Structure 1
Amino acid sequence: MATTLTSSTIAGAIFGSALTLSGVYSPWIIISQMQNSNFHMLQTFLTASGCSTIAMILARKYGIAPCAPRSQSTLGMFPYDGNIIGGLLLGGGMTLTGACPGTVLVQIATGIRSGCFAFVGAILGGTLYSMAKPYLVSRSGSRGAEAVKDEPRTVQQYVGMKEERLVLVYEAFLVLVLLLAGLTERAENVLFPPVVGGLLIGVGQVASLVLTGSAVGVSTAYEQLGGASKLAWRYVSGSGEKSGSRPAYNSIAFAGGIVLGSWVLSQVLDFKVPGGEAPIAESTAILGGFIMVLGARIAGGCTSGHGISGMSTFSVASIISVAAMFSGGMGLAFFV
């Protein structure tokens, strides 16, 4: 147990350092991406995804980690309903907060004020989801279970293409998009170009695979925190069982590592927030953090879990979740 938590913390610290150096933790960077006025986030994100694809194939080939594609998240209404609805909420929360479930931890470590309020909302969102999860699972029922069981999980299963060929097509597509996005204006105060930042995040993925046997993902930590809070309340109030199963804490350790790694780096290096801090009201940050994490858990993953890790396995659920995330974020940015 202690060894697992230590490995998760170290992996989180490496990943958090990569997020910090890449600059994608900046509220301005994220909001500007949703407004389509700056593409630093997209360039970093796609580079990290390309690196992660290769890393996960090698990890699976050499038995380092299973790297299984994510299955759809269902609420029992229609296929991929959880991925779509959750992704839309996640993207909307990102626009309101200028953060994602992973980068909000870096914002706390680097002293970005709005990140602290977004974190409060994120904890509330994780707590609500942990309370509502039994109902959501029972609501989806056997219909949802059968849909997940029978539906193809990956793009290659849908189109009948070999994974090796699909990897080449995907990597070529990423290179093309990166070249086009590279023609746009560069963000201010970034330590590294977005491609370098993406490569560093790819290193963080490798560290997670080697140290924990799992791909990166952050939003589960908020659900675990919510479960721990619920358990503590039941213990104090005497309203529930004090024994029995206990929530896992590996994702919490990974999230704690992100904060630790980012904080240490911020003390060693003197750098400014890329693009400067965005003026985000406290109430907006709390609301955004709440719907961001609630959406991420409904979708079964966040920007890291679905975007960097899930898309790297060509998971259809992850691709749909990420598409919904950007649609929700950009759609809300159009109005606000």
Structure 2
Amino acid sequence: MENILSGAAMGAGLTVAGVYSPDIIISQFKFSDFTMLQTFLTAAAGSTLAVTLSQALGLTRLPPRPATSLGLLPTRYDGNLIGGALLGAGMALSGACPGSALAQLGVGVPSGRWALGGAVLAGVVWAGFQQQQKQKQKQQRTPAPAPEGNEENKNENKPGPPATATATTLAGLLGTTPLAAAAALESALLLALFALSRLTPAAAAVARGVPPYLGGLGIVLAQAVSLALRRAPIGASSAFEELGAYLYAGAPRKHANVVFSAGLVAGAWLAARAVPALRPVADVAVSPARSVAGGFLMVLGARVAGGCTSGHGISGLSLLSLSSFVTVAATFAAGGLVGLAFN
């Protein structure tokens, strides 16, 4: 029940904020309307307060988001860079992110159904890739028997010296306490929000009649509900991995995130019908092919990076995870390039 309720809170929050709407997302990446970014900054700032308080009170013990490495670039964050870029490109194409695609289904956005189809397909492809990787790792863990008397082979699989510790959070990077790092992040987010509000025309700062800062607070409330009920932060892309594993192998091992996503759809549906003004006036012209391609890229990228705009962008930043900062930067950079190219 806690997954359903937490998901419903997130679905309602996205719907009230208006950031589920394709035109809001696409306009952001065309740099013509900064409603989405203002809502995001508000949600990240509020979530940082909620998560920091939850951790300080001992209600949660959440680790930072780990770096994801593909071994393709000379950095341990290459998975976050590449995955974040794919996520941003997919968002700019489809006008959706993993969480908002589910909200679009609940509200009834036509292009969202196609984006969701591409997202589910990406979940199946990712599940197949993960299964193959597990099989390879299993084979590599079975060493050939060593000849008797060969001391070199006997010592071959013994653990080596511990790896040098590397900073994984903003606090570690700055060499300060988590509380001080959270305060620094909070100040930076609020400063950016203030600067953006001064640069954005008043008419462009409202999504469906709801100011971005109020919409962002709705998402913060969803984060608080999730922390209180599930002892876990919000995130949407893991559900596509779980569903993909079921469709690929037919044996569901986990389903908590799928249940959370079902609640998200229901919450969006309820919010849109309780307040009809929250429903989109008109859907932007996003073709089915573009929606499917974007949906596929955004979920594939989210799984490569280990999280999406909610998992990394809101929850991960709140946990001061360096991997989340890298992922978010890559998402907005690639999304902006694709958005301008399709302008």
TM superposition score normalised by structure 1 = 0.89
| 3-state secondary structure, aligned to 2:253 | coil
Any conservation in 1 of the 2:60–2:232 contact (CA below 8 Å)?
yes
When residues 311 and 189 of structure 1 are mapped into structure 2, their CA distance, relative to the original with a 3 A threshold, is closer
1:1-336 equivalences in 2 (<5 Å): 6-77=1-72, 78=74, 79-136=76-133, 150-183=165-198, 184-185=200-201, 186-187=204-205, 190-232=208-250, 246-273=252-279, 276-336=282-342
Q: CA RMSD in A?
A: 2.1
Any conservation in 2 of the 1:95–1:330 contact (CA below 8 Å)?
yes
Instruction: In structure 1, list runs of 5 or more residues that go unmatched.
Output: 1-5, 233-241
When residues 161 and 51 of structure 1 are mapped into structure 2, their CA distance, relative to the original with a 3 A threshold, is same
When residues 189 and 158 of structure 1 are mapped into structure 2, their CA distance, relative to the original with a 3 A threshold, is closer
When residues 35 and 208 of structure 1 are mapped into structure 2, their CA distance, relative to the original with a 3 A threshold, is same
Deviation at 1:269, TM superposition (A): 1.2
Q: What is the letter of the counterpart of residue 87 of structure 1? A: G
Once the two structures are superposed, residues 268-290 of structure 1 have per-residue CA deviations (whole angstroms, 9 ceiling, x without a partner) of: 11115467421000011001101
Give the whole-Å Cα distance in 2 for the aligned partners of 1:332 and 1:147: 42
Deviation at 1:176, TM superposition (A): 1.6
| 3-state secondary structure, aligned to 2:71 | coil
| 3-state secondary structure, aligned to 2:98 | coil
**Aligned residue for 1:237?**
none
Deviation at 1:198, TM superposition (A): 0.8
When residues 187 and 57 of structure 1 are mapped into structure 2, their CA distance, relative to the original with a 3 A threshold, is closer
Q: Percent identity?
A: 38
Any conservation in 1 of the 2:35–2:205 contact (CA below 8 Å)?
yes
Deviation at 1:200, TM superposition (A): 1.1
Q: What is the letter of the counterpart of residue 326 of structure 1? A: F
Deviation at 1:88, TM superposition (A): 0.4
Moved over 6 A (4+): 146-149
**Which structure would you say has the larger Rg?**
2
Q: Which deviates more, 246-255 or 92-101?
A: 246-255
TM superposition score normalised by structure 2 = 0.87
Give the whole-Å Cα distance in 1 for the aligned partners of 2:236 and 2:273: 23
Any conservation in 2 of the 1:92–1:292 contact (CA below 8 Å)?
yes
Any conservation in 2 of the 1:29–1:274 contact (CA below 8 Å)?
no
Instruction: In structure 2, list runs of 5 or more residues that go unmatched.
Output: 142-160
When residues 149 and 129 of structure 1 are mapped into structure 2, their CA distance, relative to the original with a 3 A threshold, is farther
| 3-state secondary structure, aligned to 2:277 | coil
Q: What is the letter of the counterpart of residue 230 of structure 1? A: Y
| 3-state secondary structure, aligned to 2:285 | coil
When residues 189 and 216 of structure 1 are mapped into structure 2, their CA distance, relative to the original with a 3 A threshold, is closer
Give the whole-Å Cα distance in 2 for the aligned partners of 1:211 and 1:149: 37
